[in-house]
Structure 1
Amino acid sequence: MSPSLPTSPSCRILTVASNWENARFVVNLVTASDASVDKSLVIPWTISNKYYTADVHFFLEIVSGNDSGPSRLLSIQEDEKVPAIIFVFTQEESYRPLFLAHLEKLTANDAEVCIAVRLPSSKTAVPSPSSGHEDDDSIDEFFADHGFEYVLAEKTPFDAHDGVLGIPRVRDALHSIMWPTLIRREGNTSGTARGSSRLPVTLTGDAVGGESLSLTLDDLTEDIAHSLFTSPEGAMDDRDLQALESWLDADADEAWRPTDTSVIVTPSTDAKNPGNTPSIPSGFEDDFTNFVSAPPNPVPSCDGPSASGPSSKSSVFSSNLVAIADKEADADWDPEKWLPTQAEIASASARIFRPLGSFDLAQVLSTLQAMKEEISGIADEDERRKAAARAALGLVAGLGLDVNDNEDDTSELGEELRVD
């Protein structure tokens, strides 16, 4: 008799360790559970987030340092493969012989998620003479060579440069799998358009399998804005939202070009010299090299009267940010401190849009929800802005948005992002 779906290999997180205690300890960390030890090898778990639930289970496989004798590691039959594998070891354990002894059986699963988790210590681990002197880079390189991601269980949840770390990274990876038991929550599917607000979106082939589709603004912008710009106290930072809106409204090509701020076009100078209004290119060009490498120039004070009109939309991104900073009387707020590099944007985009066969809105929003939780937990305001900017621009880059193709849609997006 075939197993029910939640207990089948397709819903299995294979957890491999040299002893049961270490395997169960990692399961408890991932599931945020302190369940009493019952020596069970199968531990059910319901993945639950804002967008979906999925019934899955951990299967604990206790192995030794040799490959002899029977093993419960799954066969290579197509219907027996598992989507996720977690290899558990401790910092003093001789992990390489243990891992290599079972590598062939592990990799035969072609799992979507393969993670090696290192625990700080264990009384039951077999000591390794050299493991105490091995640095993390060497361990990371070893597992990367075999298709596994290396995670330190004791790492803090978020690092400004490395992104999600520790057990939250494991949890995030497991949430990204399209489990066959996945059930979307009511009200979080794209469905049909609500009202008439729709934004044509061209999806990049690398990110979502070459497909194109239109997404409703109601489905995306409110969740995205809340996910990226909520402070630890739960309040929205109007300055961050205004900065993002200004970037969307500004000339996209000029936004990433090094700017001599001594000749920034403002409403007052534009009225005196109408011939100096810069031309607006037809689309967004994702070459950020000059902008990232160019040093900022001093910004003179502008005491002229404010005005509204087309010239304000032609202001570059940097001038918009400076104007916002002046308005908020925050002289220490330097936008170049938190604007991401091209590599950071690409990394964020790759995390949001995983290499799936087709675009899945629930997966994208689930990842954004996880990023929102990480960002809201960052105490340092500058680091929180950096993380939010990486996520926002990673989303824009992954969707292939061209903000200049349709001014009405761009303005509409800007209005949608004004979340109180």
Structure 2
Amino acid sequence: MKRNKILVIGRHNANKLELIKQLLSESQSALPKDANDDTPMIPWTIDTKYYTAEVDLWLDHIESDAEAAVKAFVEDENGVCEVVDGLVLVFRKDEPKSFEDLKLWSTFVEKCDPNVKIVIGTEGDLSETDKDAIEDWCLENMFVYVDAEEKVQKVDDDEFEDKVGIPLLLETLQANMWDGLVTKSSAQAPLDTNEARLQMLNLIDEEDGEFTDLPSGSEIKKMQQELFGAFDDPNDGLDHVFTKIQDLRDQGANLPDSERRKLAAKVALSFASYYNETEE
């Protein structure tokens, strides 16, 4: 079962369908002609420079008992946590009290732990007090806050422009490593998340010269084998890991900065790779 659904939640009048229409347009896609406010699932192909991924935008409305709605979504038998890796909470800025409903979804986050967490305000204006309170809550709860109507202010030609509004929403969703994504380095079958992460490193290494000190996927796999190949040995598996790490530290002390960084990256990514494999 792929964890590739993006749950889009808010009151019926929060203009979620229009939001999705703008999102798809920004990504050079189109809203299905038969889609309406009651369409539960809208398929979307995320197509970036590095990968493509098939995901579903899952629309749902909260009208009255928001607490009961959250409780229903987190029940184990529903299996929602197994398929949702993105949560987008939508409210109207001219109805800031509707944001209070969305705070209850922190329970869903604690239970399901989606990688992507976004709060987005549509329609109208927020007072500075309300805006500060919402942004503080998002920061505290590790959500990205997006003002759907915000536009980029003109800056000097040599000044970097931060994305805002719908482009920021798209960028945040594209940054996730969705289950089943296919990297553009090959035409192979969809990869699991960890394999995709390693191939993404290889792609970046090939296309952007400043990242040439990153280890390749094969180097990470080799390091993982060196570190954890004997880990299951009940006698000295753990001791082997500690000894190997100390050897690597001694080795790194005599390397140039660029090589030492690459060695550190290999060790860190081999730990991440091993952890992801044991979690599956």
> Is TM more than 0.5 here?
yes
Question: Which structure: greater helix fraction?
Answer: 2
What is the match of residue 134 of structure 2?
A: 139
**Counterpart selection for 2:120 from 114, 117, 120:** 117
What SS class does the counterpart of residue 15 from structure 2 fall into? helix
User: What residue identity is the alignment partner of 2:18?
Assistant: F
Asked if structure 2 preserves the Cα contact closer than 8 Å seen for 1:47 and 1:53, the reply is yes
Q: Offset of 1:35 from its aligned partner? A: 4.6
Identical pairs, percent: 21
What is the match of residue 66 of structure 1?
A: 65
**Counterpart selection for 1:27 from 15, 20, 28:** 20
| Mapping of residues 246-265 of structure 1, within 5 Å | none
CA–CA distance in 1 between the matches of 2:187 and 2:167? 23
Q: Offset of 1:45 from its aligned partner? A: 0.6
TM-score, normalised via structure 1 length = 0.39
2:177 matched to 1:178?
yes
Distance 1:70 1:115, change over 3 A: closer
User: What residue identity is the alignment partner of 1:166?
Assistant: G
CA–CA distance in 2 between the matches of 1:65 and 1:174? 28
What is the match of residue 150 of structure 1?
A: 145
**Counterpart selection for 1:97 from 100, 103, 108:** 100
Distance 1:143 1:71, change over 3 A: closer
Structure 2: which 5+ residue stretches go unaligned? 189-193, 211-254, 259-270, 275-280
Q: Offset of 1:51 from its aligned partner? A: 2.2
What is the match of residue 40 of structure 1?
A: 39
> Hey, which bits of structure 1, 4+ residues long, moved more than 4 A?
34-37, 68-73, 157-162, 186-189, 219-222, 282-285
CA–CA distance in 2 between the matches of 1:58 and 1:72? 21
What SS class does the counterpart of residue 46 from structure 1 fall into? strand
Q: Offset of 1:71 from its aligned partner? A: 5.8
Asked if structure 2 preserves the Cα contact closer than 8 Å seen for 1:73 and 1:105, the reply is no
Structure 1: which 5+ residue stretches go unaligned? 123-130, 190-207, 226-243, 245-281, 286-355, 360-420
Structure 1, residues 4-43: CA drift from partner, whole Å, max 9, x if none? x5xx5x1110001111662212211221135544230111
Asked if structure 1 preserves the Cα contact closer than 8 Å seen for 2:91 and 2:99, the reply is no
User: What residue identity is the alignment partner of 1:25?
Assistant: E
Asked if structure 1 preserves the Cα contact closer than 8 Å seen for 2:14 and 2:92, the reply is no
Distance 1:72 1:48, change over 3 A: farther
What is the match of residue 223 of structure 1?
A: 207
RMSD between aligned alpha carbons? 4.0
User: What residue identity is the alignment partner of 2:141?
Assistant: H
Number of aligned residue pairs: 198
Asked if structure 2 preserves the Cα contact closer than 8 Å seen for 1:151 and 1:165, the reply is yes
Distance 1:101 1:186, change over 3 A: closer
